Structure 1
Amino acid sequence: MSTQVLRKDDHEAGSTASSAVDSTAGGIAGELARFALELKLEAVPLAVRERAKHLLLDAIGLAYAAHATDFARVALDGLSVLGKGDATVIGHGRVLTARDAMVMNGVLAHGLDFDDTHSRGVIHATASLLPCVFGVSDGRPLDGAQMLAAYIAGMEAATRVGSVAKSGFHQVGFHPTGVVGIFGCALAAARLLGLSQQQARMAQGIALSMASGSLEFLQDGAWTKRMHPGWAAQSAYTAAALASRGYVGASAPYEGRFGLFSSYLGEQRGNADLSLATAALGDKWEIDEVAIKPVPACHFTHAFADAGAALHHEWQRRGYPLTELIGRIARIRVKVPEGVVKVVCEPVANKRRPANAYDAQFSVPYVTASALVKGRFTLDELEPAALRDDSVLALAAKVEYEIDPASTFPRHYTGEVGLELASGETLWHREAVNRGSADRPLSNDEIVGKYRANARRALSDARVEKIRETVLALDTLPPGTLHRVLGEAV
């Protein structure tokens, strides 16, 4: 299929780029619909299938880790106002309507900001596709293999659509997990609901009018980002249901004159590459490119957490007390990719003194300083007492950022930390490839270890292992099995 980069003059002239991808297959939406509906699970390499199940396990562990948080409790209370239902909420049982359960399960999976990220698409695709696939299959005669196939199809589509923007959504204030996640979910829902290719095209066209997700939460640590994946899932379910009954959606939701990229990218639309939406579809598996988070914070901060921890341990190896390091640091320089500055470095005052845990997770100064002081960055570093640690805040106030011209972002979320001491000595550490990325991946065994650590925050060891065994056998499960296991109340 012929595609091209969107240019400003194309947009203003009525989208010349549209004609470049228009075909009898129905453009990008048609090609994605064909792939999503025709995909055979047995045609997916075994390693990809196994990785997909481990990505789901990771997200489910996070849902349990988030179970007792304030944001989860409030979200469940708020959604309950809309009415009770018989759809499964992970760890809570059958308490909400189907679409509200999708929102809630998305909040649980994404709320700790510890879930996987497709690096090039900069999208947390599992956090929307898990609630969608889990929700659509709830109460329907759909077995685990059908759920897994729909998840994989949705992941392959969402990550590619996200990649088209080349990280541009963040630059103009949109959160791609919400804005893009809905399209992968629409295709997964279309597959599970048995839609035709034309109906799956229409589902994507309907989804265009529902795509949403603002980054304004970065200004004050608002909770809104946590609902974006689940909102994408329930909106996609709505779009697919409407399409199944003949509701007509936009025919060119991606390449159209007012399509996703022309409308949402603003001044960044000239960088969009539409060819990435379908590149090597079915031959190259983007699930292999999904990064697992080893650090519970925005992926853009991970290199700084690891660099700070490395410098902490280097100082210890030299035999100096930590208090001496803190007192001797005159300035901390961090080198960041230009594309992440608006998310994790600005506004500077907010980032140096985060108001709450969510603020902290999107702060290079706080993450760097915390890792320097403690030699790690875990969920414990997001507790209220940790956020008030004077030694951490004193170092965060000394962090200054500069653009890293050598960064390979978005392929890698690079980071470099330099300590300038009062004596004139400097200590540097660079993370050129972020830990957990496709080029430095966590193994499946490491993912299981992360799952266990998270799930144990809410469950007994016996239940942790039962869930692990169930999820990793997903493609052999009869209908309803996963829902019964995950629906048991904590």
Structure 2
Amino acid sequence: MARNTQVLADTTAPPVTSILARFAATHPSRGWSDAVEHEAVRTFYNWLGCAIGAARHEAADAAVAAVQMLRPAPQATLMGRSERVDIGSAALVNGITSHTFDFDDTHLKTIIHPAGPVASAVLALAEFEESSGREVIDALVLGIDVACRIGNTMYPDHYDRGWHITGSTGMLGAAAGCARLMRLDEKQTTMALGIAASQPVGLREQFGTMTKPLHPGAAARAGLMAALLASRGFTSSPRALEAPRGLVQVVSDKRAWHEVTDELGQRFEISFNSYKPFACGIVIHPSIDACVQLREQGVLPEQVERIELRVHSLVLELTGKKEPRDGLQGKFSVYHGCAAGLIYGRAGEAEFSDAVVNDPLVVETRNKVVATVDDAIDEQSVRVAAVLKDGRRIEVRVEHAIGSLQNPLSDRQLEEKFGQLVEPVLGAGKARDITGMCWSLATVPDVRALTALCQA
């Protein structure tokens, strides 16, 4: 008996696969404003710092050991490490390390971390192709636009189903960026997007484990492979995104097709990127910011009877771990984030180490945090009250945390973050040299000069 599995299918969807392919293949180089150009450089710079910073993490060691079992050809650099591997493995490992600390960029409208999949794939291929910095920036801007526009089309329904949207759209951005870098034509780029559309990566069940940062790495490798296959004549459906059994309609009931086409080539999603001051899930940031402000007002952990949070339901859905056991779990605990903010006045990678997560003072402070859901509060906001043992009540409201679009990190603050991540791995001198080259990336004739600096 035939099954009616597509009763809600949209058979009138516009040809978004070919529309995005044409855009990625034909949009003019540097065809955007100075503001978009600068944000592209900031996005790349932040991604690079995160990738180098986690180069010595145990997840990186495990990933490198695994890919070396394949005896890869030395085609591309692993950021912050001495090994060289094939371009697919470099995309994978650099994508993993860029997201390991959960310190990377965030497209706040969709909670996509767009640079992880796109920059990881593009830089690996660019090193092999001896591409210029200009070509890397073009590929990054266009690839991120493709990933985030499809994300806009499906969010939040797709995310609410349990997909990790960074991985499940990132392979499309990586494919588009790599196709652009290889100068594939519109038809080939359509095939690349179609091949990538059959490879969505990542489930939210994996948050708090090493598999979460695998998602952008695997998406980077999938997108790169899709472009390589398309360049050699491999075919796919030209309607792989919009067809009734295509990616969007299979994984989401929301299909806002206009999000693909509205102001395409005029509004660039990289303009809405943000950069984390805290090394954890983005929805924790307002609470950490508020607790840092409490500390700045003189509130000490030993004075506190309890800390009351009023947050959007998504905060506890994503980061409601009351008793994290290690650093990775701590990144998904709003309770730990609040304790770190109050005790240390910051929440960098050091504050999410296994030792800090299990420190008795941190555990004691964490247990004083009481969170209440209030969906009248925006996801980007929080109401925090410190109830002190002497009866005082000190309240802080955060509407837009530091690092948000409304309260962004400055270039100087990004440089400080980059230094904190990179100097322990490569040293202060290299960190300064890489910084200088990144800010002038558009003028770099061969990105191998940059990747050489990034090698341990």
Q: Secondary structure at the match of 2:383?
A: strand
Which residue identity does 1:435 align to in structure 2?
Answer: I
1:75-106 CA deviation, whole Å, 9 max, x = no partner? 21121112132122112345212101110111
Match of 2:211 in 1: 224
Q: Secondary structure at the match of 1:13?
A: coil
Q: Secondary structure at the match of 1:456?
A: helix
Residue 119 of structure 1 is aligned with which of 100, 108, 121?
Answer: 108
Match of 1:104 in 2: 93
Structure 1 contact 30–201 (Cα < 8 Å) conserved: yes
Match of 1:30 in 2: 18
Change (3 A) 1:222 1:20: closer
1:164-203 correspondence to structure 2 within 5 Å? 164-203=153-192
Residue 377 of structure 1 is aligned with which of 347, 352, 356?
Answer: 347
Residues in 2 aligned to 1:41 and 1:447: alpha-carbon distance in whole angstroms: 26
- 1:366 aligned to 2:333? no
Say which is worse superposed, 334-343 or 479-488, in terms of deviation: 479-488
1:391-430 CA deviation, whole Å, 9 max, x = no partner? 3222323433333333334xxx222223345666533222
Q: Secondary structure at the match of 1:75?
A: helix
- 1:244 aligned to 2:211? no
Which residue identity does 2:9 align to in structure 1?
Answer: S
Residues in 2 aligned to 1:288 and 1:140: alpha-carbon distance in whole angstroms: 27
Say which is worse superposed, 351-360 or 396-405, in terms of deviation: 396-405
Change (3 A) 1:446 1:11: farther
Residues in 2 aligned to 1:125 and 1:183: alpha-carbon distance in whole angstroms: 11
1:107-153 CA deviation, whole Å, 9 max, x = no partner? 12111110010000211111111111111122214221111101111
Residues in 1 aligned to 2:6 and 2:385: alpha-carbon distance in whole angstroms: 45
Structure 2 contact 303–388 (Cα < 8 Å) conserved: no
Change (3 A) 1:366 1:153: same
Say which is worse superposed, 183-192 or 382-391, in terms of deviation: 382-391
1:304-323 correspondence to structure 2 within 5 Å? 304-316=287-299, 322-323=301-302
Match of 2:313 in 1: 338
Residues in 2 aligned to 1:480 and 1:292: alpha-carbon distance in whole angstroms: 23
Match of 2:71 in 1: 83
Residues in 1 aligned to 2:441 and 2:276: alpha-carbon distance in whole angstroms: 22
- 1:274 aligned to 2:241? no
Structure 2 contact 339–365 (Cα < 8 Å) conserved: yes
Q: In percent, how many aligned pairs have the same letter?
A: 27
Residues in 1 aligned to 2:326 and 2:301: alpha-carbon distance in whole angstroms: 25
Residues in 1 aligned to 2:453 and 2:166: alpha-carbon distance in whole angstroms: 24
Match of 2:44 in 1: 56
Structure 1 contact 337–405 (Cα < 8 Å) conserved: yes
Change (3 A) 1:487 1:462: closer
Total equivalences in the alignment = 452
Structure 2 gap segments, 5+ residues each: none
Structure 1 contact 93–487 (Cα < 8 Å) conserved: no
Which residue identity does 2:405 align to in structure 1?
Answer: A
What is the RMSD computed on CA atoms of the aligned residues? Answer: 2.1
Match of 2:117 in 1: 128
Structure 2 contact 106–273 (Cα < 8 Å) conserved: yes
Residues in 1 aligned to 2:183 and 2:30: alpha-carbon distance in whole angstroms: 19
Structure 2 contact 168–219 (Cα < 8 Å) conserved: yes
Residues in 1 aligned to 2:5 and 2:275: alpha-carbon distance in whole angstroms: 36
Residues in 2 aligned to 1:65 and 1:370: alpha-carbon distance in whole angstroms: 20
Cα shift at 1:483: 4.9
Residues in 1 aligned to 2:451 and 2:371: alpha-carbon distance in whole angstroms: 49
Residues in 1 aligned to 2:247 and 2:383: alpha-carbon distance in whole angstroms: 34
Residues in 2 aligned to 1:135 and 1:306: alpha-carbon distance in whole angstroms: 35
Which residue identity does 1:114 align to in structure 2?
Answer: F
Residues in 2 aligned to 1:203 and 1:462: alpha-carbon distance in whole angstroms: 40
Residues in 2 aligned to 1:128 and 1:422: alpha-carbon distance in whole angstroms: 48
1:433-472 correspondence to structure 2 within 5 Å? 433-472=400-439
Residues in 1 aligned to 2:113 and 2:29: alpha-carbon distance in whole angstroms: 22
Cα shift at 1:272: 4.2
Match of 2:221 in 1: 234
Match of 2:324 in 1: 354
1:206-217 correspondence to structure 2 within 5 Å? 206-217=195-206
Match of 2:56 in 1: 68
Match of 2:9 in 1: 15
Change (3 A) 1:369 1:260: same
Structure 2 contact 130–448 (Cα < 8 Å) conserved: no
Residues in 1 aligned to 2:334 and 2:229: alpha-carbon distance in whole angstroms: 43
Match of 2:283 in 1: 300
1:341-365 CA deviation, whole Å, 9 max, x = no partner? 32112xxxxx111111111011111
Match of 1:4 in 2: none
Residues in 2 aligned to 1:113 and 1:449: alpha-carbon distance in whole angstroms: 17
Residues in 2 aligned to 1:302 and 1:291: alpha-carbon distance in whole angstroms: 12
Change (3 A) 1:248 1:375: same
Structure 1 contact 110–127 (Cα < 8 Å) conserved: yes
Structure 1 contact 111–226 (Cα < 8 Å) conserved: yes
1:434-473 CA deviation, whole Å, 9 max, x = no partner? 2212222112222122212211121222211111112222
Cα shift at 1:259: 2.5
Structure 1 gap segments, 5+ residues each: 1-9, 22-26, 346-350
Residues in 2 aligned to 1:380 and 1:94: alpha-carbon distance in whole angstroms: 25
1:212-262 CA deviation, whole Å, 9 max, x = no partner? 1112223xx321011111211111111112222332223323322223233
Residue 324 of structure 1 is aligned with which of 303, 316, 327?
Answer: 303
Cα shift at 1:14: 5.8
